[in-house]
Structure 1
Amino acid sequence: MIRLTGRARAHSNIALVKYWGKRDSDLFLPMTNSLSLTLDALYTDTSIVFDSELTEDTFTLDQIVQSKEQTEKLTHFLDIIRAKAQITSKANVTSLNFVPTAAGLASSASAYAALIGACADALGWEDDHKSLSKLARRGSGSATRSLFGGFVEWDKGTDDSTSVAIPIDDGQWDIGLIVLVLNNGKKKISSRDGMAHTVATSPFYENWVKTVPSDIKQMKAAIYRKDIEMIGEIAEHNALKMHATMLSANPPFWYFEPATLLAMERIRELRQAGYPAYFTMDAGPNVKIICQKSDMTAIMDELSHFYTNDQMITSAAGPDMRTLTEEEWAESLAKKEGSNEYSH
């Protein structure tokens, strides 16, 4: 009988220079590099048990046994891990998603980063986050970046072995992020479908790809200088360029809602009032505010006239993926069982 157990925690990230489009949908190789900030407020804890007596993989998320369809996605990823480890044992996967209720945030980045960390822990692999990021990528592209804390670049690479995450800066300075939750409903077009449709039909897409290397270079220079204004300006422009490719797709589509545009205008008003505050948006209506960590309380006070506290999630830079002890896992289980504050 073989029974191997591992546990890990990984944090979500927000891309400041976006990942939008794949050049290889099987290996999840992106069209461009991307760059993100890992968040301390949002994370996933995962435990895995490879057990030779199991006849199939099982997947429990937030104490709910997942559907066959959801488990099949997990099995596809675990088959890649099993092939690398040269084992055949099925696995029991348990994940706890610590994202505040109604966050409207995708958890795939932290989920697959935590899962690969748990697998490495169970299989006794060397703790090489860069190598693990290549494997996390096979589950979710953005998970590549959640292996590291702070600012992280995903190098598109030339093939499976070179498309990896690279830490840029730990972010342990005066930078913060506020998530404005405007709509927590399921979006009509998934990110994966939206990417594919944009790449296939948008006449603007080729130019988007051409502009990203410059955005990456300027963003890294701004991070090294801790220049919050330049970081914000680049992130805003990059996000709007990405959304422009969707508007030019055929047929066009968009993730903006009226509340999204209103929030963007309110963030511009914050700037006019003297706060270095900038917006970015992913494939969804919710808006993220890049700002100084020291300004977050004041900014939330300004925005409290329009949004409830539940709609505003504050975060500083988060840490690397790490393994969890048995005691820490037990604490996470108790936290999940004792609170309805978090959900998937």
Structure 2
Amino acid sequence: MSAAPLSPATARAHSNIALIKYWGKRDAALNLPAVGSISITLDALYTDTRVGFHAGIDRDSVDIGGRKVDAAPFTRFLDLIRARAGIEHRARVESWNNFPTGAGLASSASGYAALALAACRAAGLDTNARELSMLARQGSGSAARSIFGGLVEMHRGESASGEDAYAEPLLGPADWPLGVVVAITDRNAKRVNSTAGMTGLAERSDYYDAWVARAPRDLADMRNAIAARDFETVGALTEMSCLKLHGLMLSTRPGLLYWNAATVAAMHAVRELREAGTPVYFTIDAGPQVKAICAPEHTGEVARVVANVPGVLDTRVSGLGPDAHLLD
């Protein structure tokens, strides 16, 4: 990394949804994942974040969607960047999501990826993509993947320092175009955020050890299916990983139930579509929103069907998104 003069910077990063899910940490302090993951980045859902470091202010300030929020979690993250850049200036951060925040649509992933890129540039750091991925991971585990577009793999890593826990692209957005229909069933922030839900899993779930042990095989199977452009296998593995994740959540003491009635109805609608001949598969992160994955030519049909599911409030149609990038 090299330093340059300070000036504000604005970055955009897109949310991602995991096909092979991440849940659990092997080191909470460094935010190191217990398992690897594979995701797709969405072009329709993104965060724009502007960061400026300023002399003469005594504390960081953070606005999300025009509302001031507690800056403390972001100060810890910004301190990592200040230490690298050798500066002490406090920051003004302004961030906007074009989708509901904290509702199971990976706003923390796009948010911390955009923050990492904008803050590094504003601090005068010339960081490469791997460095950005490792930095974003320390804000949110899934943010490491939102540095990249297309299909992305996050490595669990083995090092205690976290130097081998980073994401890297498998295929670019144009290498294998896919469509995603997002069914929004609740716009409110979820009651239990992902960090709280993952805390102490080894003691809170009898299924956790099996989840961790199986992860390398699931990742290898998905990697092979993506390399072969085998959509049927990719879809089947995606649904399997989704349901296994939520089974793990249900087994956690106390049990985590993120679904609502519309979530379940949308899952059934996707399976009924598939049984009728449309290749489409669902996945759900830690929240109530359903994402239906299909070929781009089927997104219109899939969107019409899931939009008619009782309780679905809105739908978003997306393709695969690009790398995080500067807007200045």
Which TM bucket (shorter chain)? over 0.9
TM superposition shift of 1:99: 1.9
Q: How far apart are residue 63 of structure 1 and its match? A: 2.3
Residue number in structure 2 paired with 1:152: 152
CA distance in structure 2 between the partners assigned to 1:272 and 1:280 by the alignment = 17
Q: TM-score, normalised by structure 2?
A: 0.92
In the alignment, the residues of structure 2 paired with residue 220 and residue 235 of structure 1 have an alpha-carbon distance, to the nearest angstrom, of: 12
Structure 2 Cα separation of the partners of residues 207 and 275 of structure 1: 33
Question: What residue ranges of structure 2 are gaps of 5+ in the alignment?
Answer: none
Deviations 1:143-176 (Å, cap 9, x if unpaired)?
A: 1000000011111112321111111101323411
Tell me the amino acid that sits aligned with residue 319 of structure 2.
A
Is 1:265 aligned to residue 235 of structure 2? no
* In 1: Cα distance, 2:56 partner to 2:101 partner: 36
Correspondence for 2:171 among 160, 169, 172: 169
Change (3 A) 1:161 1:167: same
Please tell me whether residue 38 in structure 1 is matched to residue 57 in structure 2. Answer: no
What's the CA shift for 1:58? 1.1
- 2:108 matched residue in structure 1: 108
1:254 maps to 2:257:
yes
Aligned to 1:126: 126
Q: What is the identity, as a one-letter code, of the residue corresponding to 1:252? A: G
Residue pair 1:113, 1:321 contacting (<8 A) in 2 also: yes
Of Structure 1 and Structure 2, the greater helix share is in 1
Structure 1 alignment gaps of length 5 or more:
326-344
Structure 1 residues 185-228: Cα deviation after superposition (integer angstroms, max 9, x where no partner): 23222211111253322111111111111111111111122221
Whole-angstrom distance in 2 between the partners of 1:147 and 1:112: 9
Change over 3 Å in CA distance of 1:198–1:72 after alignment to 2: same
Match of 2:291 among 268, 288, 292: 288
Q: 1:99 is paired with a residue of what secondary structure? A: coil
1:241 to 244, 248, 268: 244
| 1:245–1:309 Cα change, 3 Å | closer
Q: Is the 8 A contact 2:185 2:312 kept in 1?
A: no
Seen in structure 2, the aligned counterparts of structure 1 residues 148 and 132 have a Cα distance that, compared at 3 Å, is: same
1:9 deviates by: 0.9
Conservation of the 8 A alpha-carbon contact between 1:198 and 1:246: no
CA deviation digits over 1:313-334, x for unaligned, max 9? 1110000011112xxxxxxxxx
Alignment check: 8 A CA contact 2:104 2:286 kept: no
2:221 is equivalent to residue 218 of structure 1: yes
Question: 1:85 aligns to what?
Answer: 85
- SS of equivalent to 2:223: helix
Match of 2:305 among 267, 279, 302: 302
Distance verdict in 2 for CA 1:52–1:259, change over 3 Å? same
Q: Deviations over 1:275-314 (max 9, x none)?
A: 1111111111111111111100122223343269951111
Partner Cα separation in structure 2 for residue 292 and residue 117 of structure 1: 31
CA RMSD of aligned residues (A): 2.0
Task: Tell me the residue number matched to 2:58.
Answer: 55
Deviations 1:242-285 (A, max 9, x none): 11112222333321222222211111100011111111111111
| Map of 2:135 onto structure 1 | 135
Q: Is 1:229 matched with 2:232? A: yes
Moved more, 285-294 or 118-127: 118-127
SS at 2:142's partner residue?
Answer: helix
Q: In the aligned structure 2, how far is the partner of 1:178 from the partner of 1:307?
A: 16
Judging changes above 3 Å, is the alpha-carbon distance between structure 1 residues 59 and 102 closer, same or farther for their aligned structure 2 residues? Answer: closer
Offset of residue 59 of structure 1: 1.2
2:232 partner amino acid: E
Contact 1:44 1:98 in 2 (8 A): yes
